[in-house]
Structures are given as structure tokens and as C-alpha cells.
Structure 1
């Protein structure tokens, strides 16, 4: 009789975050199985642009996570195959007027205090960095630490390098529990036993949490990307308008768009980014695509007559305070979360994996995990209910971006 395979940890999700968790857990000496209902990078990761950004993050816990990931991605670039397409191209944030430039200065001052390299660039110098940029911006900021990977390849190569046992095309139908604690997972094809299960299911992480008997308020936030025909390198950096930073941090459910334009080693130019909360609606939004094309051409007029070969879209895993959930869930012993990164999951994946590995092994974490505690939303809801019940004038909501 064959025995049910047993591991130290089972990871649900074969996107880039799940792959990073597998990589660092294996590096810590743990036996790991990864299971996903689809292919590697079949969800949010495969629909991303591959951003590895510090430029769009204000000083606080998410920026700390991004800076750690920046260092780890550089280390990974030395060991992963060239197909990962790691490119330290740098980011360029463009301000259309003096008022916006002044706001960017204050934003950059806070980032520098946290360890970010941010270099103010005058109007003339912008054109030296990006010769095809439209005239008129008041200035901007160059972020040399910003980089890029090919997201699906990054996930696939990272997962392969981990050496984890991988089961694709198998949906987890049950999170096994005994005495309230996690004991593994079950798919229609097999049972995988483990004293630890990691929820790295991206936009569907709320469903996995429910399978384990708990809650996590993950919502889908849809985004579109345009892909042009192959071109010479007309865009040298990742270039975006300053309002992109505000859109990333926004709580609005309505359609928001701001030009994010970048060339790729293969030639096509990628044009993003939109955000809207429409559930899991997969329909094509002509308004979103129109806005992207118009804003990109305004930033780079050379793109106005370039053919768009295709578009794609996906769902970013949105949590109310814009911070991911990383670490053990005290409500369900043995359950860990690594999800809710919204549009920053590719960039934040290595640091997330390193934090998870530390939590799984009891090692000292590379940075404080407190702001990423999965149970923080339930705590906030209890506090709000208590405040309302006592008749207090001051009520509380979910924690904000920098608790």
C-alpha cells in the first residue's frame, strides 16, 4: 500500500509569490510541495508587467519590504537563467508642473530617509534620459533601484530552482485539519500532508482562507496592459506620470488610469496601468484601453502611430490597507498567508518568501513582520464594533497603509 506523501509545508499557488516561498523554504532546509489549480503563473503573475519598484512606495512597511526584495532580486539574477530577463533599467517619474514636482520632492525625501536612491532631474535632463519624451514636463525623479523581470519566466525559473515537488492542474478542495490545526491539503487527485500550509493563492486567497476556516478580505482589482509591435529601444527606463503613485494608493473602486510605459529586451513596449474593482468580470473595457493609449501617446508622441499587437488583463489581489498578508494565522494553527500584494507581488515576492521561511522555521525575520499580520483586519473590525457599541465618537476602520 502506498503511503500519503508528507512534507514540512504545502504551498497553495504557483505564481511568483508561491514560487518565492518555495525557494526560500527549501533554502531553509524544509521539504516543500506546491499545488495549483492551473499552470505556473496562470493567475495574477502571468498578467503582470514584471515591475520591481521602490519608486511608487511611500516610506513605511511596504517600502521596507520592497527594499529587501530589491537586494534579493539582484542576488537571484545571478543564479536564475537569462530567460528571467532581469533588467535594472531604473524608473523615471515625470511631473507635468511645478506643483506636482514639489509634491514629488517631499515624497522622495521620505523615501531617501528609508534608503531609496532618488535623484531629481530637471526638464532638460529628462530629455537626455528619454529622448522621445514629450516636451513640457517641469521635471521628475530618477530611481536607479527600479528594475524589471519577465514575470511568468521569473516564477517558473524560481520554482524550478527551488526543487519543490510541484502539482499543477489540481485544485485544492479541502484544507485538512485536526484538533483545529492544519494537517495538509486534499485535491481530487491526491492528499498532501504537512503541519504547515501557505496560502499564496493571489486574488483567490480569500477562498483558500475560507477552506481553512478563517477569513481574509482579499478582493480582485482588474488591470489592463497594451503590448505594441517590436520597436527599437525608444523607451529606456520605466517611465510613468506622477499620478500613478496616487492611483496605486487609492481606495476607489472606479476606473483609474495613468501612463506607465517601458521597453522590453524583446522589443515590444508595455503600456499600463489601469485599476478598477469590478469583481472577476473578464470583459474587455474599451474605455480602459482608450485611456491607456491616449496617455501613453501624450507621454511619448512617437507611440501615437505604433501598432498595438495585443492586450491582456488580470486581477490584482487587493487588501483594504494596501499591505500584503504575510505570516502565520493565529486563528488556524499551521496556516500561513502570503498574499494581497495587489500590483506589487512580483517585486515583493523574494522578501515575502524570506519572511515566510523565517516564520516557518522560527528564525529571526529579515525585517519586522508586524504590519503584515493576517489577523489585523479581524482585530480592526472588533475594535470598530467595540467603539460603536460604547457610543464613542471615534470609530476605527481597517488599518491604513502605514500602521
Structure 2
């Protein structure tokens, strides 16, 4: 690859990078996407495709999620909901005890005040939503706006619709800066891309890319496992998870945290998550984590006790210390923009992230306040 140019180079061909490329191209910019692997080869390809409102308390992330939800509906129309397996299935959060149900009510009240649709489900009504749920649960909350998408299909179709060059198998080795420190190009192992704008959508490797520009970005990998069952007749109607999942999302401990999340797919398989642990990039399969996932799923759906698991996979979520993504221009390096640190919410938040970054790239005001997501807020130095 000889030296070529683009208005914007997006580093990362996962869901967030694809969304940034899509909206930037729609805004009239010449975009090139670079990824050292393949499309959706990182966190995106190891995700469940969550588009959730149910796990987010009132605040900046929920505001971003609500904007993203509207954009997902538009993308379903533009890309074809069937093509990307976009399912408006709703989410059901269940409580094992009266105390958990009370806590869910309080959490839902805050979300409802922020504009989220949520309906309380008493214990006796749970079988109407999920006939195979355990019968000793205390109740739950139903979120009709929760959705699911096939993340690899969504990223691929977004990039195709963007109509931009996608350079896979291409490693970024440097970022060129001019005399005043502004971005002037992206150096890869296949040549140089001249540009004045770089979007760092490298997921768990975002800190590495930021370091090439001489700035710090506290994005770390957080490992998670998912079990996949054999194909089954229609069994689970919604995304169903235990009340403890919300607490696990917001914790910062390094140790293993497990909370069951169970949902069906169009292929008939059932996906079972979710674990979180900070172990760096250690990809070792943890049998203890897998056993806990299986036990948690059977606790919610006893019918799964006799079902075979056909495979397990793991991924690394891009974790930030305050659990909010890094979105926006980096004031330390003119021309450098960040779109990373979404942890397990990257699929759901990708459209709003890409939409906001495209607005910044073209000098427009984003539709969501990005100040809580300012990349420099942790003031990390390298």
C-alpha cells in the first residue's frame, strides 16, 4: 500500500468503528477503516449483541443509550432488520427474593423518570412472559425497549453501507504529527495513510493506539465467557437476567463476577452469560466460570438442566475506571478522537457514539452531551 489519504482514518473494524465510519461517510467525509484483524474480529465478535436500557441507571450512559435506541430503529429500516437479526424482544430482569424485587422497583422508578419504558411483573405473572422460568422467583421488571442484534452481521453491513475502504490485516504502528502536534497521518505495516483526523475505535487496544500519539487512555481488558447450547425449539422469548447483573456491571473488582443472562437466538441456540474479571489478556478458559454460568442458567430455567452445551467462547470488554466510555476529541492531540471504553455496552451504544463522533468531525454539535465521556477526564500520562 503506497501513501494514500483520507479525511478520516478509523482504527478498529468492530461495531463502534463501523458506526463511526458509517455516520462519518454519511456526513460526506472520505473515510478509511484499518484493523489488524478482520471485521468484528475482537470484542464485537465475542459479544451477545445486547442493546439494553434495563441495566443502566439514570445518567449520561442512559441518555446515550436512549439516543442509540432511536438510531438502532433507523438502522433496522436502512440495513434491513432481518439481515442483521435485529430483534425487539424486550428484556426481563428477575428477582430471587422480596428484597431484590424491592431494589428492582427502586431502580426502575429512576429509569422510568428518565423516560425508559418499564413494567413491573409480579411473581404470578412471570410464566406469562417466560413459561419455562423457575417458579420460586419473587417477581421482575419487563423492559419492552430492550433489543438484540447479531453483532458481526451488524458491523459488516454497516461497513458495506458506508461504502468505505476497509483495510483488514493491517497493523497501525505509528501516528504522524505535525510541528504543532496535530495528526498528519497513520503509519501501518503496509504503508502510510495521510489524514488530519484519526478515530481511535480500537476497543481493548485503544490505550495502545493512544500511546502512539503520546497520550494515556485508561482502557483495560475485562474478560468474559459465554456458553452456547445445542439448537432447541423456541424456548426463551426475551433476554432474561438476574437482578445481580446490574450490580456486577458497575463493580470495579478484579475478581470473577458471575450473574446469569439467558436468551435465545434465531438459530435456536441459547446464549448463557455473563462473567467479568480483570485478568489482562489472559485467554485461559476458566472451568469454574463456565460451571457457574451453567448453574446460574439452570437456576433461572430448570429446563436447561438436560440441554447440551456445544461450545464456549470468551472475549475482552474494553473497561474504563468509571464504567463510562471515552468519546470525543482529545484536546491533547489535535485531530485525535476516541470512541472506546464501552465495556459490555459497545454494541448497544455504537450508533450514538458514531453519530456523535461524526458530528464532531464535521464541526456540528452532537445530539448527546459528551462532557461526561471526555477522553481526558482521567488525565493519564504515558
Counterparts of residues 276-287 of structure 1 (less than 5 Å): 276-287=277-288
- TM norm structure 1: 0.93
Is 1:112 equivalent to 2:112 in the alignment?
Answer: yes
Residue 334 (structure 2) aligns with: 333
Residue 129 (structure 2) aligns with: 129
1:4 is displaced (CA, Å) by 3.0
Secondary structure of residue in 1 paired with 2:240:
strand
Residue 46 (structure 2) aligns with: 47
The answer to whether the 8 A contact 2:2-2:192 is kept is no
1:114 is displaced (CA, Å) by 1.2
Secondary structure of residue in 1 paired with 2:267:
coil
Runs of 4+ in 1 over 3 A off after TM superposition: none
Residue 296 (structure 1) aligns with: 297
Distance (Å, rounded) in 1 between the aligned partners of 2:342 and 2:167: 24
Any idea what the Cα deviations from partners look like across 1:74-120, whole Å, max 9, x if unmatched?
11011114231000000000011111111111111111111100100
Residue 138 (structure 2) aligns with: 138
Counterparts of residues 7-26 of structure 1 (less than 5 Å): 7-26=6-25
Secondary structure of residue in 1 paired with 2:366:
coil
Secondary structure of residue in 2 paired with 1:101:
helix
The answer to whether the 8 A contact 2:259-2:275 is kept is yes
Any idea what the Cα deviations from partners look like across 1:343-387, whole Å, max 9, x if unmatched?
0000000000011011111112111110000000018x9xxxxxx
1:3 is displaced (CA, Å) by 7.2
Counterparts of residues 197-208 of structure 1 (less than 5 Å): 197-208=198-209
Any idea what the Cα deviations from partners look like across 1:179-204, whole Å, max 9, x if unmatched?
21111201111211111000000000
Distance (Å, rounded) in 1 between the aligned partners of 2:163 and 2:367: 23
Residue 320 (structure 2) aligns with: 319
Distance (Å, rounded) in 1 between the aligned partners of 2:341 and 2:63: 16
Distance (Å, rounded) in 1 between the aligned partners of 2:375 and 2:331: 9
Residue 147 (structure 2) aligns with: 147
The answer for unaligned runs of 5 or more in structure 1 is 382-403
Distance (Å, rounded) in 2 between the aligned partners of 1:22 and 1:184: 17
Pairwise CA RMSD? 1.1
- TM norm structure 2: 0.98
Secondary structure of residue in 1 paired with 2:327:
strand
1:126 is displaced (CA, Å) by 0.7
1:145 is displaced (CA, Å) by 0.5
Tell me how many residue pairs correspond in the alignment.
379
Distance (Å, rounded) in 1 between the aligned partners of 2:343 and 2:378: 16
Residue 88 (structure 2) aligns with: 88
1:160 is displaced (CA, Å) by 0.9
Secondary structure of residue in 2 paired with 1:22:
helix
1:341 is displaced (CA, Å) by 0.2
Shifted more, 359-368 versus 293-302: the winner is 359-368
Secondary structure of residue in 1 paired with 2:235:
coil
Distance (Å, rounded) in 1 between the aligned partners of 2:2 and 2:238: 53
Is 1:169 equivalent to 2:164 in the alignment?
Answer: no
Distance (Å, rounded) in 2 between the aligned partners of 1:83 and 1:301: 32
Counterparts of residues 221-260 of structure 1 (less than 5 Å): 221-260=222-261
